[in-house]
């Protein structure tokens, strides 16, 4: 069983050999915030970060928008025990997000570097739940079998671009470019050329 413990996060996110660097996270945050704020025509106020790990997006988001409300969700016991209270992280997974009792919609939903490790049934449930919670943009970065990449291959679920596009469409999500997706009912807020599908 794969363990998302201190050693895992140190290997992939910490130290000089990390593949997910602070600079890369800052760039992703800037893209996600800008996309959500263009769509909403205001600053982002609420963020849901699913599979947040140690909550590395949180500090970058708060530097950019100090008043925003951040909720992280992660399945790692280590993360919740160590960082939960301090960083606003609660226990849950993509597949259980619909059962966590979340009532409000979020301006920005982040699920970064997570989806390729989730079995298809859980992915379908999770995407549907995320769409229902989305009040703005969903930032869902995914690498497919057509991409060349280095990183964690343990429990990676090889899926094609076509498969992801189908799964996202089934969940009612419209592509908006640069890993951003919009719930179908909010698609009219996008200009015709912003819709990438």
User: What is the mean pLDDT for each group of 10 consecutive residues in the chain (197 residues)?
Assistant: 67 64 91 96 98 93 97 93 94 96 96 92 97 97 82 74 96 94 84 64
Going from N- to C-terminal start, the domains of the chain cover 21-194
> Which pLDDT does position 5 carry in this prediction?
66
Q: What does the pLDDT read at residue 54?
A: 87
175 neighbors 196 (Cβ within 8 angstroms): yes
pLDDT value at residue 158: 84
pLDDT of residue 117: 87
Q: Model-level pTM?
A: 0.89
pLDDT of residue 189: 73
3-state secondary structure of 195: coil
The answer to whether the CB of 171 falls within 8 A of the CB of 191 is no
Q: What is the pLDDT of residue 122?
A: 95
Q: Looking at residue 140, what is its pLDDT?
A: 97
DSSP state of 52: -
Close Cβ partners of 92 (under 8 Å, ≥ 6 residues apart): 50, 73, 74, 75, 100
The fold of 21-194 is Rossmann fold (3.40.50)
- What is the rounded CA–CA span in Å between residue 15 and residue 1? 24
Please state the length of the chain. Answer: 197
What is the helix, strand, coil percentage profile of the chain, to 5?
Answer: 45, 15, 40
Per-residue confidence (pLDDT) for residue 8, from 0 to 100: 66
Rg (the chain; Cα; Å): 16
Cα-Cα-Cα-Cα torsion 27, 31, 36, 38, nearest 10 degrees, comes to 130
């Amino acid at each position: 069983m794969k363990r998302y413990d201190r050693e895992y996060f140190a290997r992939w996110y910490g130290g000089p050999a990390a593949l997910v660097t602070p600079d890369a996270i800052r760039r992703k945050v800037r893209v996600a915030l800008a996309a959500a704020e263009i769509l909403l025509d205001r600053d982002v106020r609420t963020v849901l970060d699913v599979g947040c790990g140690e909550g590395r997006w949180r500090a970058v988001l708060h530097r950019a928008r100090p008043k925003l409300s951040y909720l992280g969700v992660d399945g790692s016991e280590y993360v919740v025990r160590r960082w939960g209270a301090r960083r606003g992280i609660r226990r849950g997974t993509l597949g259980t997000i619909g059962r966590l009792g979340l009532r409000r919609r979020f301006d920005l939903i982040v699920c970064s570097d997570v989806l390729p490790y989730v079995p298809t049934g859980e992915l379908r449930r999770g995407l549907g739940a995320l769409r229902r919670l989305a009040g703005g943009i969903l930032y869902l970065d995914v690498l497919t079998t057509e991409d060349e990449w280095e990183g964690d291959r343990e429990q990676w679920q090889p899926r094609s671009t076509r498969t992801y596009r189908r799964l996202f469409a089934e969940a009612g999500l419209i592509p908006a470019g640069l890993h951003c997706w919009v719930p179908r009912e909010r698609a009219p807020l996008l200009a015709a050329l912003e819709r990438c599908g």
